[in-house]
Structure 1
């Protein structure tokens, strides 16, 4: 399958790179590669991407794209996210096809997690 003209990489702002890296490592086991003090990437988490030092945040309220993770156990994933330091901004709700919740990680970026069960 060709990767030509497919989404290849995504970047997010991070007001606190270390806190963001610690959160994603604790919540999801992510590993990072640092490229200086203002950039890191995550090379193998479903989609390649990175975080860059910035005072900006990506939320749905500000028009940012919403990145949504999949979980086989939504309640367990929500507990992991909370225990890693995220703020739950939308509790689990149902929608046609599944359920999901939204959270804000330590640098202020919004993400969601969904499940089809």
Structure 2
């Protein structure tokens, strides 16, 4: 069954040459990679906890809309009910289509956009494949977050285009920056993504961006493994109301989050 419009449905890693990245993530998360064959240009499906969780795409020979090499990244896809209609909404609300609709036989259709604050996000209309399987198992994605440099513009756009039911979270007395706003795309248990007011943390002119969180059983051990494998620790690990979190970077400079759930302190592994 297709996910509701606006719910994260897929993760995709892209880089110019992905062999080294596959080795890195296999080492960190224990992922299995399944080559989708020449008809899919060697697209690699990530299998974790017995299900498809993400894809890896080699961008060698491809260029961005401005003509330069495509930067390596983790990209988030949001589900849509009608890709063409939603793309019209993107244009009407200040966004820009940078990847035109493309058909994936017997699976679905996708496109890529820039929102008004500069964040790239994919759109996926399911026609046989509804995306990743949420399980909260180690090595699987558990949260998705827009780091917004213009909170009002972001909430207005994602409400208009993706039907976000923007729900502000209340700050608690221990919050080091209680004036910064954070909203989810739906109330309580229906929430699957967040919008974080992040302008004060980045240099002026930084575009907004989406990021993903992966579940691990031991954040500190995972960070150590990432550093040993050639990655970097950017922030944390830090305890939060939702778990022990760290911001890390892979050897190609692509950032992501690792999250150890509350009460989970199993040593070793991911």
* Bucket of the pairwise TM-score, normalised by the shorter protein: 0.7 to 0.9
TM-score, normalised to structure 1's length? 0.77
Deviation at 1:62, TM superposition (A): 4.8
TM-score, normalised to structure 2's length? 0.37
Unaligned segments of structure 1, at least 5 residues:
none
Cα shift readout 1:12-68 (whole Å, capped 9, x = no counterpart)? 222330111000111111111223465322133565221112332337665332111
Quote the Cα distance in structure 2 between the aligned partners of 1:84 and 1:62. Answer: 29
Larger radius of gyration: 2
Residues 85 and 106 of structure 1 are in contact (CA less than 8 Å); yes or no, is this contact kept in structure 2? yes
2:212 counterpart (67, 72, 86): 67
Mapping of residues 44-83 of structure 1, within 5 Å: 44=48, 48-54=53-59, 55-58=70-73, 62-83=207-228
Helix, strand or coil at the partner of 2:217? coil
Partner of 2:142: none
Alignment RMSD, CA only? 2.6
Quote the Cα distance in structure 2 between the aligned partners of 1:47 and 1:62. Answer: 30
Runs of 4+ in 1 over 6 A off after TM superposition: none
Return closer, same or farther for 1:99/1:22 CA change in 2, 3 Å cut-off: same
| Equivalences, count | 115
Quote the Cα distance in structure 1 between the aligned partners of 2:231 and 2:207. Answer: 19
Quote the Cα distance in structure 2 between the aligned partners of 1:58 and 1:18. Answer: 15
Deviation at 1:77, TM superposition (A): 1.5
Helix, strand or coil at the partner of 1:65? strand
Partner of 1:4: 2
Residues 12 and 50 of structure 1 are in contact (CA less than 8 Å); yes or no, is this contact kept in structure 2? yes
Unaligned segments of structure 2, at least 5 residues:
60-69, 75-146, 148-205, 264-270
Quote the Cα distance in structure 1 between the aligned partners of 2:55 and 2:28. Answer: 17
